Amino acid sequence: MEEKVLEILKGTFELDSVDRTCSQTTCDAWDSMGQLNLVAELEGAFDVSLEPEEIGTMKCFDDIIRILKAKRY
């Protein structure tokens, strides 16, 4: 799951490389539009539906993993 999330982050934000420190503060492309694109990619890749409050707290790689694990992926 973690590698897949890293691939999604890399592709969504068009990054040359990405690691587990990726967050809104370290990635310039992770703006409000980037967030929407990220959510769409995650929902499609993991076949989940993310709630608005989950999306609002999704600010870094670790947040994404925590939310997906809570959905029992």
Distance between CA atoms of residues 58 and 24, nearest Å = 9
Q: Could you report the per-residue pLDDT of 6-47, keeping only the tens digit for each?
A: 999 999 999 999 999 999 999 999 999 999 999 999 999 999
In the chain, the number of structural domains is 1
Higher pLDDT: 72 or 39? It is 39
Give 18's strand partners: none
What amino acid is encoded at 7 in this protein?
E
Measuring CA to CA, which residue among 37, 17, 39, 41 is closest to residue 27?
A: 17
Q: Is the pLDDT of residue 72 over 90?
A: no
Distance between CA atoms of residues 50 and 27, nearest Å = 21
Mean pLDDT of 47-73: 94
What is the reported pLDDT for 67? 97
Q: Give me the CATH number covering residue 54.
A: 1.10.1200.10
Q: How far is CA 54 from CA 15, 17, 72, in A?
A: 24, 25, 14
pTM of the model: 0.92
